[in-house]
Amino acid sequence: MGKSIIPFFIENPYLRNIFIDASNNNDLSSIFNFHLFDQTTSSKKKIKIIITDISSLKKFLELNMSCNKIFLINDKNNFFIDIKVDSEIVNINLPFKMIDICHRIENNLNLINAQKVRLHKYNTFVYDPSTRTLSDKISSLRLTEKESQIFIHLAQNYSAFISKKELLKKVWMYGDDIDTHTLETHVYALRKKIEDKLNIKNLIMFEEKKGYKLNKSLL
């Protein structure tokens, strides 16, 4: 199996040159290579880790690409991120040593690869609990933490309906007297996202006296 590719998307000329030099150094790591970010090729597959600086972060996020972790080089004293970041951010402060960054990337890659064994595979879709992403070869949908818990509980119990109270207990740990409006709101949002982003209708079924059920055959 070949080495993993770690793309870097950096505008700062000094930092960019450091990683260009590193991309030509095969001795830095035994499990990955640095590579200049290419949107055309990267968009065809999920990015595990990308390295970027503050100036480039917003531009990368606006591409709306799926990424496990962003190694963010803090090359500015004061900055404010005014765009939603779903990926986990690993901060790198200046000055840094390339060997230290390599060790951190190797540790994170090993963790990401270990999490792959927990992937939930269906007919055409795959759910990754580590990134809360439901995807096939064409589309991808990232869930919120609560949406993820709802989806997982329904998927694990797809052969039977789960009552509202039972699902509330599993996801929110609430007592029997809790108002179910919170659950209904989350399920409605989850249904709409799945229909809009993945074009799957009626994945989550509901019957008044029985509760919710996942139509697993649609996945």
Q: Quickly count: other Cβ atoms within 10 Å of residue 12's Cβ.
A: 17
In this structure, CATH architecture of domain 4-116: 3-Layer(aba) Sandwich (3.40)
pLDDT tens digit string along 1-23?
A: 568 899 999 999 999 999 999 99
Where does 120-218 sit in CATH, by number?
Answer: 1.10.10.10
Is the confidence at residue 118, as pLDDT, over 80?
no
Query: Average pLDDT of 69-88?
Result: 76
**What's the pLDDT at 83?**
65
| DSSP 8-state class, residue 217 | G
For 127, the 3-state DSSP assignment is: strand
Q: Quickly count: other Cβ atoms within 10 Å of residue 198's Cβ.
A: 19
**Angstrom distance (rounded) from CA 212 to CA 206:** 5
The full set of domain ranges for the chain reads: 4-116, 120-218
pTM (predicted TM-score):
0.54
**Angstrom distance (rounded) from CA 140 to CA 125:** 9
Looking at residue 189, its amino acid is A
Assign 204 a pLDDT band (cuts: 50, 70, 90): very high
Q: Quickly count: other Cβ atoms within 10 Å of residue 14's Cβ.
A: 10
Q: How far is CA 41 from CA 10, 66, 126, 138, 141, in A?
A: 17, 13, 21, 15, 20
CA atoms within 13 A on the CB side of 206: 9
**What's the pLDDT at 170?**
79
